[in-house]
Amino acid sequence: MDLGTVAITGAAGTIGSVMRRALRADADRIVVLDRVPLSAEAATETVREMELRDPAAVVTALAGTGADAVLHLGGLADEAPLPDLLAANVLGTHHVLEAARRLGIPRVVLASTNRVTGFHPAAHLTGPDDPARPDGLYAVSKVAVEALGRMYAEKFGLSVVCLRIGSFEECPSEPRHLATWLSPRDAVGFVRAALTAPPSVRFTTAYAVSANTRRFWELPAHTTLAYTPRDNAETYASRVPGAGLPVPPASPQSGAYAQPAATLPHVHP
List the helix and strand counts (H, then E) for the chain.
7, 9
Which amino acid, residue 252? P
- 32: three-class secondary structure by DSSP: strand
How far lies 114's CA from each of 2, 59, 120, 164, 216, in Å?
A: 29, 29, 11, 5, 10
Q: Which of 255, 218, 214 is nearest to 235 (CA)?
A: 214
Q: Which residue out of 138, 152, 236, 257 is catalytically annotated? A: 138
- 95: three-class secondary structure by DSSP: helix
Q: Contact 137/85 with Cβ under 8 angstroms?
A: yes
Any catalytic annotation for residue 138? yes
Q: Contact 215/222 with Cβ under 8 angstroms?
A: no
Catalytically annotated residues: 138
